[in-house]
Amino acid sequence: MRTLLLILFFVIQTPKVEVLEKPEYQNMVAKGYTLIDVRTPEEFKEGHIEGALNIDVKSEEFVTEIENLTKSDTLLVYCRSGRRSLYAAQVMVSFGFQKIYDLEGGFLNWESE
């Protein structure tokens, strides 16, 4: 029984959010995975990563909008500094999303040289 539990633990682990450094994240963006900016529409208009969808984590529609995404897709999330996107990613995991990657340092890091 103990062996079975250990096997189940390793096989049926809950998905985790992986925080990627900028170069790794850039490679994932280049591969064309779904990119989600979880900042407000105002922040999004001021600048965003090309091709990103704007799904504001603070909006009442956040859950409705993420439920329209495919749970098996690889998703890349980011916000301004990394806090909101990590929260959004954890919410997404709780809704059954499997492969979520967060940009370390958020959009501020993306824009820095």
pTM: 0.85
Note the CATH number of domain 15-111.
3.40.250.10
For 84, list phi and psi in degrees, rounded to 5.
-65, -35
CA 106 to CA 26: how far, in whole Å? 12
Q: Under a CB-based contact definition with an 8 Å cutoff, are residues 82 and 57 in contact?
A: no
Which residues are known to be catalytic? 79
What does the pLDDT look like over 61-103, one tens digit per residue? 999 999 999 999 999 999 999 999 999 999 999 899 999 999 9
How crowded is residue 78: how many other Cβ atoms within 10 Å of its Cβ?
32
pLDDT band of residue 12 (cuts 50, 70, 90) is very low
Q: Quick one: 27 exposed, middle or buried, by C-beta within 10 A (0-12, 13-18, 19+)?
A: exposed
